[in-house]
Amino acid sequence: MIDFVVRNALIVDGTGGKPAQGDLAIDGGRIVGVGPHLVVNARRTLDASGLALMPGIIDSHTHFDAQITWDPTLSPSPALGVTTAVIGNCGFTIAPCRPADREITMRNLTQVEGMSIEALRQGIAWGFETFPEYMAQLRAAGSVANVAAYVGHSSVRTWVMGGDAARRAATADEIAQMQAIVREAMSAGAVGFASSTSPAHNGEGGLPMPSRLASDEEMAALVGAMGEGGRGVYMLTKGGHTPIPFLESLAAATGRPVMVAALLHNSVNPTAVFADLDAIAAANARGRRMLGQVSCCPLSMDFTLASPYPVEGLASWKPALGLAGAALEAVLADKAFRDGVRAELATPTTFRLFNSEWHKVQVVETAEPAQQRFEQRSIAEIATESGRDPLDTMLDIALADGLKTVFTAMLLNSDEEAVGRMLNDPHSIVSLSDAGAHLTFFNDAGFGLHLLGHWSRDRGAMSLAEAVRRLTSHPASVFGFEKRGLIEEGFAADLLLFDPKTVGRGPKRRVHDLPGGAARLTTDAVGVHGVWVNGRQVADANGLLAEAPLAGELLTRFAD
Ligand SMILES: [Zn+2]
């Protein structure tokens, strides 16, 4: 008698091969049979007629490092089909961390990853100092999904250099101490070493995140320490000044895979990301293992007119900067101010987040009931309908709402033809959900469902089989997750049951459920019928089970 059998599913097995109708038998957390008309005696049978069954989604770019210590459900990812999450991306981790550095570590996370400081202060369970102790805590506490953790450069640097970590280069002795910590973390089961050289990554008080102060020698020494045991992935969110050839030299020296983030398409500099992907392809042709992390979601940012990040860089916006309440409302209502903004927007320039793409600005949430009719509609659409100017349209909606209207603007990765090419690049990995971070700006934890629904079904950018491969066996092979990522006998029963006709991610919603009541954006699954982690069901058609079991495993052993 086995645990359960799923009958009559369209099995999309993760290999990229043609999906086939069949049954799946699960016992003891593993797949024990797959094929048409399985003859098995099971305690439970699930009829999956009309539905598709695939391996669970592997999310290779998350920031659950802090959240996992108070929320082992890793909300909202498992309900969105994610059965394995890789944490510690960009090197923004919380271990190792001495008690004296906890406050600065939390303040940095608040700044760089948009996490509420109150949520972090109330939420993080600091039962550890070293990386091995952090792993022991995660193992003891358990989690709904499987987790693999990077050791993070900024934490390693802060441990060794204290307050100087964000201020200066390291000495040879300090680099040696950092190497020892990286080695210790790899022995404790880290999946690799993660870092950032991105100028966008600033911590408390606008100081650069510590890893940005690293010299090339320091970076090479730490990646070398990671790779000594013949294991580990080096992950870097790179700034424009970090050339691919330098990263290729690290791949060559260590023989380890190098994963480069964040490759997003910018409509005003449309060739840059393809130059990076070409350089990565050339490195692969020379025998290096290099990948570029790409996203299947437009990078959108939520904002209100009280703090409109996408337009605050405009010179004509200056009169409004620093104002609040009635004074700000007066400026936003002023015709001369509006004419100035209109004139500046009329001239396109290269380095500007927002370029009058009004069809890419949407009303998310309104405060006044009379305004609800604008929700989920674009400014371009509303303006055309009323025959009014789009800037006036947006500002008037906000003013009628006491500036409480939440808008969203798609800033990067919105050129779908270009993004489709990036998703199909042989050396890209579909990633960058940033789940667990930037909770007030965006939430792409449902990226996998979006790839299946939007990109595969609706746009036909890739077959369903290829979309599933990209979300499952591809990342599993890069990270060396053994016996995961395929529907095959002997593999872990990490599974996602969904309706291919409807699968997708739902609209964003704002909820106030972080520790201390802080707000975050979340999103619900569409067309998901069940999610299993190691053979145990954690979500159904209504989302995460109320008593979702802590079925996940802390992954610490990886194949090459
Ligand atoms: Zn990140």
- Ligand 1 center from residue 212 Cα (angstroms): 14
Residue 191, pLDDT score: 98
Percent residues over pLDDT 90 in the chain: 82
- Ligand 1 center from residue 430 Cα (angstroms): 14
Give this prediction's pTM: 0.88
- In angstroms, how far is CA 224 from the centroid of its own chain? 26
- As a residue count, the chain comes to 560
- In angstroms, how far is CA 108 from the centroid of its own chain? 18
- Ligand 1 center from residue 85 Cα (angstroms): 13
For 246-344, where are the E strands, in sequence order? 258-263, 290-294, 299-303
Segments in 188-261 forming alpha helices (H): 216-227, 244-254
Q: pLDDT band at residue 314, thresholds of 50, 70 and 90?
A: confident
- Ligand 1 center from residue 92 Cα (angstroms): 8
- Ligand 1 center from residue 522 Cα (angstroms): 17
- Ligand 1 center from residue 525 Cα (angstroms): 22
Which amino acid makes up residue 17?
A: G
- Ligand 1 center from residue 431 Cα (angstroms): 10
- Ligand 1 center from residue 90 Cα (angstroms): 5
Domains and CATH numbers, the chain: 57-298+413-482 (3.20.20.140), 301-410 (no CATH)
- Ligand 1 center from residue 63 Cα (angstroms): 7
Q: For residue 359, with 0-12 CB atoms within 10 Å meaning exposed, 13-18 middle and 19 or more buried, which class applies?
A: middle
- Ligand 1 center from residue 87 Cα (angstroms): 9
Taking the CB of residue 468, how many other CB atoms lie within 10 A of it? Answer: 31
- Ligand 1 center from residue 89 Cα (angstroms): 5
Q: pLDDT band at residue 508, thresholds of 50, 70 and 90?
A: confident
SS3 of 279, please? helix
Rg value, the chain, Cα: 24
- Ligand 1 center from residue 432 Cα (angstroms): 7
Alpha-carbon gap, residue 88 to 96, rounded angstroms: 12
- Ligand 1 center from residue 236 Cα (angstroms): 9
pLDDT digits (tens, 9 = 90+) for 195-209: 999 877 878 877 889
- Ligand 1 center from residue 499 Cα (angstroms): 30
- Ligand 1 center from residue 18 Cα (angstroms): 33
Which amino acid makes up residue 369?
A: P
- Ligand 1 center from residue 41 Cα (angstroms): 45
- Ligand 1 center from residue 201 Cα (angstroms): 9
pLDDT digits (tens, 9 = 90+) for 60-110: 999 999 999 999 999 999 999 999 999 999 999 999 999 999 999 999 998
